[in-house]
Structure 1
Amino acid sequence: MTYFLENAWLPDPAPAGTWQITLTNLSDEPLSDFKLSLTSITRIMPEHQITGATFHKRAANFHEFAPEDAAPLASGDSWSFSVEGLNRSPFHRNDAAKTAWITTSDGTHHDVVVGDLTHAGMTPVLPQPRLPEGRLTLPFALLPWPNEIDAEPGEAPVLLHAAGASTADLRLMISVDALHGRLFPQARRLFQLSTVPGSRALRFATDESLPAEGYRLDFGDAVTLTAAGEAGRRYGLIALAQMLHGAFSDPDYKFPATGHITDAPRYDWRGCHLDVSRHFWQIDDVARVVDILAWQKLNIFHWHLTDDEGWRAEIKALPQLTDAGATRGAELSEMLPQLGDGPEPKRQYYTQGEMRDIVAHAASLGIEVMPEIETPGHAICVLAAMPELKDPDEEPDSYYSVQGFFNNALNPAMPAVYEMLEKVFDEIVEIFPSRYIHIGGDEVAPNAWLGSPRARELMEQEDLDGTFELQSWFMHKIKAMLDARGKVMVGWNEIAHGGGVPPEDTIVMAWENPAVGIELARDGYGVVMTPGQAYYLDMVQSDDWLDNGAGWAGSVSPEQSYTFEAEGDFPEDLRDRMRGIQACIWCEHYTTKAWFNDLVFPRLGAMAEAAWTHKDHKDWQRFARQVRLHPSL
């Protein structure tokens, strides 16, 4: 450790307080003629005051400073400066510098160790336990909990062996056994094709009157799994695998000796989103996320492949998207490091082969992979890779997004934008057979494009009033592209702004708050509920300063995620438009796997049970006891 950076926040002056930054030279040599760069989700606004430093530049979460004094920083000495004019007050200890480095006059970068943000004048309190000890209602390890169970516990068999099963059933059984083995590599096998001493027979039956994803398990001298088709059989096998795993892992859990389980999901759409733009996850990590979703009986994997911070999907017709748009580094003026990045350039994206592998892997587990291509906003990476998409006469820095990126939306008045998107969608639909394509549509700045002469001319020609009517006009064109390719358009709730798009074959994700979902349903849209106040898994889990996570939606404890009822105040006549629920894993704060696990679990399991289990069968204390058996990344 050669250099150390400390952050402190003072509440005064209102409204956002003061950020104090101190760099200490712990090397043996004086430090001179240098700049300090850092990435921070607390940002400096255009109107600001800095004391003790010169401010060189900011690009969203990237900041660069230098000392006012040219004198060397001697070994053991510190340089401190303060900043007023922040985008908001920080919420928690991780809301300031995440990474930092020094750049000396010869261009060499030196890493800086970063401390937590401290709250001046407040004694921090350690976060409380997130789960109670919990209690079992029945000694069976099942998550999500089934909607009907009447069974007596007994000792678990050594394993279950197939009896009179078809080849397709055998493949499915071994697939679920392999899933269990990947999630719990140290655990014993659960299923086998032939009998062994101590095993119990597993028989398969078909009943087409059962729901497509439903199943029935009957227990006795043998176990019989009845389902209408493959989806129900898979979920029945996962239920058996969970109960066996629990019985082999914890003596408090048993396996049914007699009785039955009859089960089917509450909602058709049981999804989870993963942001791989803000923090890139290796393909093996993505595959493990898919495995975890399957284990918890989720059926939609929403893969957020593009955002301002990086374009992660190989498009062979447009290699520049992954040449320039997937690379960030301190020397790249259009793609500077963002949250958690260091100075060295990193080019990170998925090849088409890798994406196809994830699609096939997910399909083998009954999961549909829905890609997201963000448009028109969150597009800095596209504009960095393809500057010809910009209006050359647009006023620079004429608007900025809520994340602090200037002029980051694709311009609806530029014909080349549509040519680019046609090429992107042509390749995306070949990789992803999903019925759905998510097109983003969120967080376009309310004054976007108003500094673009070409956009203003288009607005006049089409009699459009303001940014959101122009966005709606743009979205109609995007929907036509997807309609032509036989795909259902999915977007965040802002795609309904400015007049929206036709609700037929359109699904909208209500993320800002639950009331938005009801309004969208009234407008005729199919709605997936994913409010930040319950299902955004990057939200901090308590109000304690030392907890991790984002804070814009308030703290969201595991109990809040579990007990939240997405139907809420939905009128009865609108409930058929609520397609289901989804968790979202946004990765601004997820700089390590440890942070991922700290924030995602156990809340992902809480949402999974809310998606499957009817309200009357949910039990927070039972969930708290059971969820500890479930895997993490």
Structure 2
Amino acid sequence: MAIAEFRLENAWHPIEGETGGGFSFTLLNLSAEAISDFRLVYTSLTRTIDAPRCQNARYLRRNANFHEFAPPAGFTLKPGESWTFVVDGLLRPAKHRTDGAKSAYVSLSNGRHVDAIVGDLMLEGRHSEPAPKLLPEGKLDQPFALLPWPAEASLTAGDTYPVALYPAPGANADDIAAMHGVASLHARLFSVGHQPLSLAPVHEGRALTFSADAALGASAYRLDFAGDAVGLTYGDAAGRQYGLTALCQLLHGARIDADRFRFPAAGHIADSPRYGWRGTHLDVSRQFYPTTDVKRLIDILAWFRMNIFHWHLTDDEAWRLEIRAYPQLTTVGATRGPDAPLLPQLGNGAEPVVGFYSQDEVKAIVAHAGTLNIEVIPEIDIPGHSTATLAALPELTDGQEAPDSYRSVQGFPNNALNPAIELTYDFLGKVFDEMIELFPSRYIHIGGDEVANNTWLASPLARKLMQDEGLEGTFALQSHFMKRIQAMLAERGRIVAGWDEVSHGGGVDPEGTLLVAWQKPEVGMELARQGYDVVMAPGQAYYLDMVQAEEWQEPGASWAGTVPPHHTYTYEAAGEFPPEIASKLRGVQACIWSEHFLNRDYFNHLVFPRLPAIAEAAWTPKAAKSWDRFAAIVPLSPRF
């Protein structure tokens, strides 16, 4: 491993009379060379104001989470020495150790960029509280490892368990293929675990009989245990898969922890999902996940009987989907680096980073999900969150508009596609044409979130459109844009899905439109009253980047508050909906936003056990849920 040349330590301090406070930085020169006329860049979600107050440093520029500073003129940093400086004037206070610098690099006078190792954000002025234990030991009311817990289970525990389950004589080719699919799923998730399913009879195994019964309904199954046989009755292919997965969970738990878990000797499970939409969203723009990782997450969703993968493919930080009509989207638009049009953000350092999914890779991921009865909903986030798009296609901007006339909540200047530029719709039409060849889902998610309140108001073209169409303000323009997009998708046989802000400014036609309510639970109820189909994903319960405890040393974001696993588990989306609009609630969704997920350990710490908690909320009736039981079973879960 190469020896680090630089290290950056950082700490946050409060300032009396100010809410944001400030940062103290120390850059250590660990190299053998003195440096001068250099610059320091760090990325942080805790952004500075436009003109922060600096001690012993010069502020140069900020672009969203990118911050650049220089030492005083004539300063030389010798080997083994350090440069300490203070930056006061932050837009918000730091609340956790992950609110400081996520990455840093030094730009030398010769144009070379060198990474700096970044330490945790330290806390000045008060005690730095360690992270607490987040999950209790749990307590089992029944000794069976099922997650999510079924709608109905009446089981008697056995004293032993079969080596494996195998198809009884008479199983047809589809049943055997389904066993192979679930056996392969288990093998991918638990690579050193003993296989719970065998396609051939096995000594000390147990025969599994199959029976189709459409009267059970979609995604439903029944398991009957008696003697040396197990019977699986299923309503459709999804139900068969879910029944097989439940059997694998039962056997996996009994084998891994025989002191706590058993395999049934008698009894039955009668099961079907609570909601039709049991979703998980993954942001691949802030951090790129290779194809193998995306498939791994889809496997985990299948293990928990979730059925929607919402794939957030574009944002300000990068465009990740190959569009052959516009190759620059995945060259310029998918590359961040010190000398690139898109500057480093959120953990990027001296080396440029690039990543996108080829159309062949997309097809492989969609096909993989399909074999597991998971629908892939693609998202391109428009009209806001389009910095990467506009960097790749500058012809989509109004050249008469001032370059920093508005900023998004994340600090990106002029980051929205302009509804008054006709070329915007030509561009999106070609994008949609390629997307419908890749994604069989009837939904295309078009984002629609976080358009800043004064967006486009300095654009002469937008002002003329407002005058011609009798529109007033940003959100009326956004509604005008969204209605055109809805019509374009309808022409292509697709339905609009979006975030809750799609309803702003008059919204779009609610008929068939599905909106994901993320800002707060009350928004979901209001959308339902307006006639929209609603999926509940409130940040206060279902955003898996949120911190799980208030202590300083617990990592994660905190804008939506603290979201401990117990709160995620017990949150009841249906409890927000009165009976007259309850039919508009389609389901629930976990959201994995990737600003804080710089490595796999952070991902696992923040996503688990809250993802399986949402899976149980999506599947299990409220009356059948148990936090103590869940806490006892969830440690058996696969990890990312």
- Counterpart code for 2:453: P
CA distance in 2, matches of 1:238, 1:24: 53
SS of corresponding position for 2:574: coil
CA distance in 2, matches of 1:396, 1:494: 25
- Counterpart code for 2:313: L
Other-structure match for 2:181: 175
Other-structure match for 1:116: 120
Q: What is the total number of aligned residue pairs between the two structures?
A: 632
Q: Post-superposition shift, 1:110?
A: 1.5
The answer as to whether partners of 2:14 and 2:125 remain within 8 angstroms in 1 is no
Match of 1:4 among 7, 12, 15: 7
Other-structure match for 1:198: 204
Structure 2: gaps (5+ residues) = none
For the pair 1:87 / 2:84, whether they are aligned, the reply is no
CA distance in 2, matches of 1:305, 1:536: 18
Q: Post-superposition shift, 1:47?
A: 4.1
Other-structure match for 1:318: 326
Other-structure match for 1:74: 78
CA RMSD of aligned residues (A): 1.0
TM-score, reference length from structure 1: 0.99
CA distance in 2, matches of 1:45, 1:355: 40
Other-structure match for 2:455: 448
1:271-294: per-residue Cα shift (whole Å, max 9, x none)?
Answer: 000000000001100000000000
Other-structure match for 1:275: 283
Q: Post-superposition shift, 1:318?
A: 0.8
CA distance in 2, matches of 1:509, 1:623: 26
Other-structure match for 2:424: 417
CA distance in 1, matches of 2:75, 2:561: 44
The answer as to whether partners of 2:322 and 2:356 remain within 8 angstroms in 1 is yes
Other-structure match for 1:632: 639
SS of corresponding position for 2:151: coil
Other-structure match for 2:621: 614
For the pair 1:600 / 2:607, whether they are aligned, the reply is yes
The answer as to whether partners of 2:51 and 2:59 remain within 8 angstroms in 1 is no
Q: How does 1:449-598 map to 2 (within 5 A)?
A: 449-598=456-605
CA distance in 2, matches of 1:279, 1:183: 23
CA distance in 2, matches of 1:548, 1:439: 30
Runs of 4+ in 1 over 6 A off after TM superposition: none
Match of 2:294 among 261, 266, 286: 286
Other-structure match for 1:378: 385
CA distance in 2, matches of 1:98, 1:18: 16
For the pair 1:156 / 2:149, whether they are aligned, the reply is no
The answer as to whether partners of 2:151 and 2:270 remain within 8 angstroms in 1 is yes
Q: Post-superposition shift, 1:27?
A: 2.7
SS of corresponding position for 2:554: coil
CA distance in 2, matches of 1:328, 1:28: 29
Q: Post-superposition shift, 1:136?
A: 1.1
TM-score, reference length from structure 2: 0.98
- Counterpart code for 1:592: N
Q: Post-superposition shift, 1:49?
A: 2.1
CA distance in 2, matches of 1:371, 1:615: 30
1:404-445: per-residue Cα shift (whole Å, max 9, x none)?
Answer: 100000000111110110010000110000121100000000
1:475-498: per-residue Cα shift (whole Å, max 9, x none)?
Answer: 000101111111121000000010
CA distance in 1, matches of 2:105, 2:354: 19
1:437-484: per-residue Cα shift (whole Å, max 9, x none)?
Answer: 100000000000011000011011111110000000000001011111
Q: Post-superposition shift, 1:228?
A: 1.5
Match of 1:61 among 55, 59, 65: 65
SS of corresponding position for 1:306: coil
The answer as to whether partners of 2:38 and 2:106 remain within 8 angstroms in 1 is yes
SS of corresponding position for 2:333: coil
- Counterpart code for 2:148: P
1:24-55: per-residue Cα shift (whole Å, max 9, x none)?
Answer: 22333322111101111111222432222111
Other-structure match for 2:151: 147
- Counterpart code for 1:211: G
Q: How does 1:13-412 map to 2 (within 5 A)?
A: 13=16, 14-154=18-158, 155-163=160-168, 164-221=170-227, 222-251=229-258, 252-332=260-340, 334-412=341-419
Q: Post-superposition shift, 1:347?
A: 2.1
CA distance in 2, matches of 1:46, 1:182: 49
Question: How many percent of aligned residue pairs carry the same amino acid?
Answer: 55
Q: Post-superposition shift, 1:197?
A: 1.6
- Counterpart code for 1:59: N
The answer as to whether partners of 2:217 and 2:236 remain within 8 angstroms in 1 is no
1:360-412: per-residue Cα shift (whole Å, max 9, x none)?
Answer: 00000000000001100000000000000000000110100011100000000
SS of corresponding position for 1:213: coil
Q: Post-superposition shift, 1:19?
A: 1.6
CA distance in 2, matches of 1:20, 1:478: 47
CA distance in 2, matches of 1:398, 1:83: 25
The answer as to whether partners of 2:406 and 2:413 remain within 8 angstroms in 1 is yes
The answer as to whether partners of 2:9 and 2:120 remain within 8 angstroms in 1 is yes
Which stretch of structure 1 is more off in the superposition, 276-285 or 26-35?
26-35
CA distance in 1, matches of 2:465, 2:157: 70
Q: Post-superposition shift, 1:77?
A: 2.4
CA distance in 2, matches of 1:465, 1:336: 34
Q: Post-superposition shift, 1:111?
A: 1.4
Q: Post-superposition shift, 1:17?
A: 1.0
CA distance in 2, matches of 1:523, 1:340: 40
Which stretch of structure 1 is more off in the superposition, 379-388 or 35-44?
35-44
CA distance in 1, matches of 2:427, 2:519: 30
Which stretch of structure 1 is more off in the superposition, 351-360 or 42-51?
42-51
Q: Post-superposition shift, 1:79?
A: 1.6
The answer as to whether partners of 2:50 and 2:62 remain within 8 angstroms in 1 is no
SS of corresponding position for 1:362: helix
- Counterpart code for 1:622: R
SS of corresponding position for 1:444: coil
CA distance in 2, matches of 1:282, 1:413: 36
CA distance in 2, matches of 1:552, 1:458: 35
SS of corresponding position for 2:185: helix
CA distance in 1, matches of 2:302, 2:587: 17
SS of corresponding position for 1:568: helix
- Counterpart code for 1:29: E
- Counterpart code for 1:152: T
- Counterpart code for 1:347: V
CA distance in 2, matches of 1:526, 1:249: 42
CA distance in 2, matches of 1:336, 1:440: 23
- Counterpart code for 1:318: Y
